Structure 1
Amino acid sequence: MGKELLPPGGGDDDNILPVDLKAALEERYLAYALSTIMHRALPDVRDGLKPVHRRIIHAMSEMGVRPNSAHKKCARIVGDVIGKFHPHGDQSVYDALVRLAQDFSQRYPVVDGQGNFGNIDGDSAAAYRYTEARMTDVAVLLLEGIDQDAVDFRPTYNEEDEEPVVLPGAFPNLLANGASGIAVGMATSIPPHNVHEICDAALHLIKHPDATVEKLVEFIPGPDLPTGGVIIDGRDSIIDAYKTGRGGFRVRAKWQTEDLGRGGYQIIVTEIPFQVQKSRLIEKIAELLIARKLPLLEDIRDESAEDVRVVLVPKSRTVDATLLMESLFRLTELESRIPLNMNVLSMGRIPRVMALNEVLLEWLAHRKDVLIRRSKHRLAAIDRRLEILGGLLVAYLNLDEVIRIIREEDEPKPVLMARFNLTDIQAEAILNMRLRSLRKLEEFEIRTEFDQLSKEKADIEALLASEDKLWQAISWEIGEVKKKYAKATELGKRRTIFAEAPQADDDAISQAMIEKEPVTIVISEKAWIRALKGHISDTSTLSFKEGDALKVAFPAQTTDKILIVTTGGKAYTIGADKLPGGRGHGEPLRVMVDMENDQDVLTAFVHDPQRKLVLSSAAGNGFVIVETEMVANTRKGKQIMNVSMPDEAKLVVPVKGDHVAVVGENRKMLVFPLNQLPEMTRGKGVRLQRYKDGGVADIKCFAIADGLSWEDSAGRSFTRTKDELIEWLGDRAGAGRTVPKGFPKSGRFTG
């Protein structure tokens, strides 16, 4: 082994420490998790910023790229940020900077960008060597007072500079611009809100600190998204989300119909939900169109320029626009859910989910802290200036003596201090005075400044001594922000509106999402199912797997629901459009629904919500069921008839007329009134006919006035009138009499 491959220390084990892997991993992962939570993913509740955004704004402030200055290259800004404050990749910093400038991402952009900063289609911004940026007024408000000791500073990563721990935040940025981020084990998602409304709620909180979330929602009815849209949530769910800090908002695209004349129209979408890429949305709708999932839609076009204009062309002028849009809302991102998870850093240290009132109260507490610190800073500056002014006044009152001391003394400073009882600072100020300020006028100006500063000092001291005055000052500041971003302004006006979702018929929407085509449903004895295109009358040509044969075949439309009843008394529902096509032998039904292995398909038919059915078990128990009660929306199906082996469900017969004819395997027939059968949603049922042995063979519902008809095996029809049926008429659960002459040998009414 070469010497260079030995571990440090010449190969002995002195420098190798055994470490428990579990403990080491836990410790390192916890350190990473804490770093991500505290210094990357979660915003501070006070200024609503994550560290990267705070550093971008601070770096721009240090560079002097204010709203009234020229734009500066983004490459310079990014360079400053990563060189001085943020030791991470340049691309991640630039991406954050770009987002701060996008008016479709930020409700109130913090950065004013010049050049290509991306668009709502999801195209990315130009490289940072091509784009330029400067601050907006929002950034100026966030920084207001930063040079007046409003916030704490800490050393930067290399301890060469200092950076603010939090910004003064005169703008309610957390709620106004929102935030989203994924940390370790926690995430945050806050949608943007309207500043005018936030300021109203904050002003109300100053007067009523115990105000409830319900009251605050009167001022802030919900998010105000940069891209507009329509929020369709009820007030109760919005209040609940703001109370708990967790929830979500359903946002729909804004649309209207455009008349094309002659009864024709097209739908124009003018606003899409927040954070939905328009190009991806249109792509998705086009894919659904090609897949024939949107039968009411003919075409989609993107005619957007600066504003959004997506044109939806209906299949025909008779298509209901609301129904078409409802089907699109269900299948596409034209309706999207904006999550709310107000997980923020409270006091800059503790990550927790906060309610709306807590977020606002903590912002107000921060504003109060900033005001006190700025006032104390100004007070200290005034005290320093008053001290100097006091010294200058002494100099003016004793000008000749001061000049004499300066001219004659080797060390004039200590002599001045002793002669006029001056402080070091005052003596220094006198010695640094210029000759030109020895004019007569200067004394008057010093006295005026002295008086003004004394008054300002008294005002600040009064402010700091009174809680009421502090809150009045904060209210005034908030009022100024409210004025600047009032709803009357272009930037401040509310973009997202509120509306109730139209009450549309679910079945109608479901049907609107399926192309209506004729099919033939085929189910084999071994429960393989398929849907052949078109209506096929001759089923003899159908092929099946070896040992399998046809069980049931019937025509349907792709928009129909198919009800399948098993021998175990269970009903399953499958949409005809979900069935496999006619190629091959289809698919086993047991793959599509949870059907027990010891049960077989009894029958299947197209669901008719208006219809009632008679169900009967092999032993002769039965009842009437409304067909809508058989519909099951899950794979598990619905137990409708309670049967236990060896008994099983045997017959499903549509209800019509007023009487029921039952034939047993013993070839005895009984006719009784239909109203003797109970209507149930699930159960064993009542006895239809009594048997010594065997069970039921067939059932038929009919109108007694029309008589009872059947067909024999040769296809001849027989009808027995009411009078001719007298000897078979009775009550249910009777034994019945032997079937009439001419009744089919099969024991069934259909020969």
Structure 2
Amino acid sequence: ARVPSILLNGTTGIAVGMATDIPPHNLREVVNAAIHLLDDPAASASDLMRFVTGPDYPTTAEIISPSADLRKIYETGNGSIRMRATYASEDGDIVINALPHQASPARILEQIAAQMQAKKLPMIVDIRDESDHENPIRLVLTPRSNRVNAEDVMMHLFATTDLEKSYRVNLNMIGVDGRPQVKSLHSILTEWLDWRRQTVTRRLTHRLDQVMDRLHILEGYLVAYLNIDEVIQIIREEDEPKHELMLRFGLSEIQANAILDLRLRHLAKLEEVKIQVEQTELEKEQKYLEGVLGSRAKMTRLMRDELTQDAETYGDERHSPIIARQEARALREDQLVASEPVTVVLSDNGWIRSAKGHDIDPRALTYKSGDQYLTSAQGRSNQPLVAFDTTGRAYSVQTHTLPSARSQGEPLSGRIDLTINAKITQLALADETTQWVLATDHGYGFICKHGDLLGRNKAGKSVVNLGDAKLLPPALIVDAELSRIAVAVSSGHLLIFGAHELPELTKGKGNKLVQIPPALLKEGHRVTAITVLPALRSLRVIAGKRHVTLSPSDLENFAGERARRGKLLPRGFQRVDELQAES
């Protein structure tokens, strides 16, 4: 072969104790690498990879393997190639316009449809194949809305379908020595160039032999034309004209046979001129062939010229672009769930359920006999729920898997491993970046991210060191730099301080929020309510059936540093049940 077809076409196969997987390559790139190796036989794999950047498949899908992996393939002969489909957004749809090598469009549609039927792809509402002669590959995905992130959807599909495939590479082949061996790119091209040099040498040698044989015959023809009358007489009169021609003119047997095989019409004078012209051209070719066969540099130049000519005649641009891409990851189960507002309700006996929307009254729901409402949390169905028990442990629960509020729910203890005598008392529902103020009724607390509360173990994780204290409902905090924290104590005191004074921790007891004298603590006085006040917000103080609203200017009377005792609230509002920030 004039080019290394083993690399160009690629091949795959298996035999006893061995296998081969050679990907196809681009003709121009392989030829350029071979030419470079002709000029620099000591070139490294990195040098050759300036020309052969990677395999080239008959598809415009992307090769996303890192350059280090490609270099390893060409250095060792082993590795793998990853290919990924390409797509574009058209009028809100996701249009897949190229698939990995040998990927079946029908198979990919089946894989996507199976996820849709299993409700594992809620963000896609329709798929269709619009491929035709003008668009050989055109798979169209219709998102549920324009808020769907096409990149996230495709990354999930890359990880879960044949839209991304891996191809094993094993450059195992039989060399010129007849033995199979896994070879590097340098070894393949070097061995092929040596074999090519031998092939060209044999070709030129064969052609030189043909030229010499033809010149030998032409010399006999010229002798015959110079003595045409005598030659004709010999042929007409002698019983063995060949032997007589050889004796008379000193011809070889080959020349004599050629003369005897001449047709009469070739005896014209014009034929003599043609023979002389042919003889001149063959002598020039003889000189050229002998020069190439006698010079390694001229042979190398001929090989280079032939490779260049073939690349220009048959080569084309690369089909499969090599682009570094981030690794595809399947979306988590909670990310695949439609994001809907929900209210999670927990009963006193530990039964939990989820109601759609935020406008429901959880206390008005029906409960089992002897059971009642305990607490609730509002958020979205794709956000993780955290449940806190009386020992300060936090348990993670997938919100979208909770039973509907149309039923009476199910025991939360069936989803988590509660410690002995522990009871779930508080809930928190938000995304992982949300911050909460976790506080105890003894007046200690800290700021914590929702993501730090999550865990994989059913036994939960220790978050708050409670001791004899009780955990208060978590208070959502948006901006710790601008917000303030309001803390009410059963002694009638109210303290307001900057949220930035409270540290952000992942677990622990926290810092003191408000000062409760030991004597009052011993008498049973506790923190009864806590809330976060955004900047310039009023505070509603609820005491039984009564409430009072304190404006931002009123709140300055209760402002102080963290861990102070605070100021007494007006009479009639000192037994605080709840604090609310008003808009």
Using structure 2 for the length normalisation, give the TM-score. 0.69
Cα distance in 2 for partners of 1:580, 1:377 equals: 86
The partner residue of 2:262 within 422, 436, 439 is 436
Contact 2:442 2:527 in 1 (8 A): no
Cα deviation code 1:239-291 (max 9, x no counterpart): 67666663534423243525xxxxxx655444333322112223333444445
Question: Structure 1 residues 379 and 218, CA, compared in 2 at 3 Å: closer, same or farther?
Answer: same
Paired residue total: 550
Any idea what SS the aligned residue of 2:127 has? Answer: strand
Any idea what SS the aligned residue of 1:436 has? Answer: coil
Q: In the alignment, is residue 472 of structure 1 matched against residue 301 of structure 2?
A: yes
1:554-703 counterparts in 2 under 5 A?
554-564=377-387, 576-577=399-400, 603-608=426-431, 611-616=434-439, 622-627=445-450, 629-630=452-453, 641=463, 643=465, 650-651=471-472, 653-654=474-475, 657-661=483-487, 671=495, 673=497, 674-682=499-507, 685-688=510-513, 700-703=530-533
Contact 1:539 1:553 in 2 (8 A): no
Contact 1:329 1:335 in 2 (8 A): no
Cα deviation code 1:176-234 (max 9, x no counterpart): 33444567887655544432333334334433445555555554555543232355677
Cα deviation code 1:449-473 (max 9, x no counterpart): 6665554444334323333222222
Q: In the alignment, is residue 343 of structure 1 matched against residue 175 of structure 2?
A: no
Cα distance in 1 for partners of 2:556, 2:425 equals: 35
- Measured after TM superposition, the shift of residue 512 of structure 1 is 8.3
Any idea what SS the aligned residue of 1:225 has? Answer: coil
Question: Structure 1 residues 668 and 533, CA, compared in 2 at 3 Å: closer, same or farther?
Answer: closer
Any idea what SS the aligned residue of 2:463 has? Answer: coil
Question: Structure 1 residues 658 and 543, CA, compared in 2 at 3 Å: closer, same or farther?
Answer: closer
- Measured after TM superposition, the shift of residue 485 of structure 1 is 2.4
C-alpha RMSD over aligned residues: 5.7
Q: In the alignment, is residue 284 of structure 1 matched against residue 111 of structure 2?
A: yes
Any idea what SS the aligned residue of 1:624 has? Answer: strand
The partner residue of 1:537 within 340, 356, 361 is 361
Question: Structure 1 residues 256 and 240, CA, compared in 2 at 3 Å: closer, same or farther?
Answer: farther
Cα distance in 2 for partners of 1:251, 1:374 equals: 44
Contact 2:224 2:259 in 1 (8 A): no
The partner residue of 1:301 within 124, 128, 136 is 128
Write the letter of the residue equivalent to 2:8: A
Write the letter of the residue equivalent to 2:463: M
Cα distance in 1 for partners of 2:197, 2:390 equals: 75
Question: Structure 1 residues 607 and 203, CA, compared in 2 at 3 Å: closer, same or farther?
Answer: same
- Measured after TM superposition, the shift of residue 577 of structure 1 is 3.9
Question: Structure 1 residues 472 and 534, CA, compared in 2 at 3 Å: closer, same or farther?
Answer: same
Cα deviation code 1:464-508 (max 9, x no counterpart): 33332222222222222212224xxxxx3544456787999x99x
Question: Structure 1 residues 467 and 552, CA, compared in 2 at 3 Å: closer, same or farther?
Answer: farther
Q: Which region of structure 1 is more displaced relative to structure 2, 578-587 or 599-608?
A: 578-587
Match of 2:289 in 1: 460
Cα distance in 2 for partners of 1:290, 1:619 equals: 52
Write the letter of the residue equivalent to 1:686: N
Contact 1:256 1:267 in 2 (8 A): yes
Cα distance in 2 for partners of 1:361, 1:649 equals: 78
Cα distance in 2 for partners of 1:181, 1:547 equals: 72
The partner residue of 1:273 within 100, 113, 120 is 100
Identical counterparts, % of pairs: 27
- Measured after TM superposition, the shift of residue 319 of structure 1 is 1.4
Write the letter of the residue equivalent to 1:341: V
Cα distance in 2 for partners of 1:589, 1:192 equals: 58
1:378-397 counterparts in 2 under 5 A?
378-379=207-208
Cα distance in 2 for partners of 1:527, 1:351 equals: 67
Question: Structure 1 residues 216 and 436, CA, compared in 2 at 3 Å: closer, same or farther?
Answer: closer
Q: Which has the higher contact order (CA 8 A, sep 6+)?
A: 2
Q: In the alignment, is residue 331 of structure 1 matched against residue 160 of structure 2?
A: no
Instruction: Report which of the two structures shows the higher radius of gyration computed on alpha carbons.
Output: 2
Question: Structure 1 residues 510 and 363, CA, compared in 2 at 3 Å: closer, same or farther?
Answer: farther
Q: In the alignment, is residue 255 of structure 1 matched against residue 88 of structure 2?
A: yes
Match of 1:246 in 2: 79
Cα distance in 1 for partners of 2:454, 2:578 equals: 28
Any idea what SS the aligned residue of 1:276 has? Answer: coil
Write the letter of the residue equivalent to 1:349: R
Match of 1:194 in 2: 26
Using structure 1 for the length normalisation, give the TM-score. 0.56
Cα distance in 1 for partners of 2:436, 2:118 equals: 36
Question: Structure 1 residues 387 and 515, CA, compared in 2 at 3 Å: closer, same or farther?
Answer: same
Structure 2: segments with no counterpart, 5+ residues: 478-482
Cα distance in 2 for partners of 1:378, 1:684 equals: 94
Any idea what SS the aligned residue of 1:622 has? Answer: strand
Cα distance in 1 for partners of 2:373, 2:194 equals: 78
Cα deviation code 1:339-359 (max 9, x no counterpart): 46253326263442635x555
Contact 1:268 1:311 in 2 (8 A): yes
Cα distance in 1 for partners of 2:468, 2:226 equals: 122
Any idea what SS the aligned residue of 2:312 has? Answer: helix
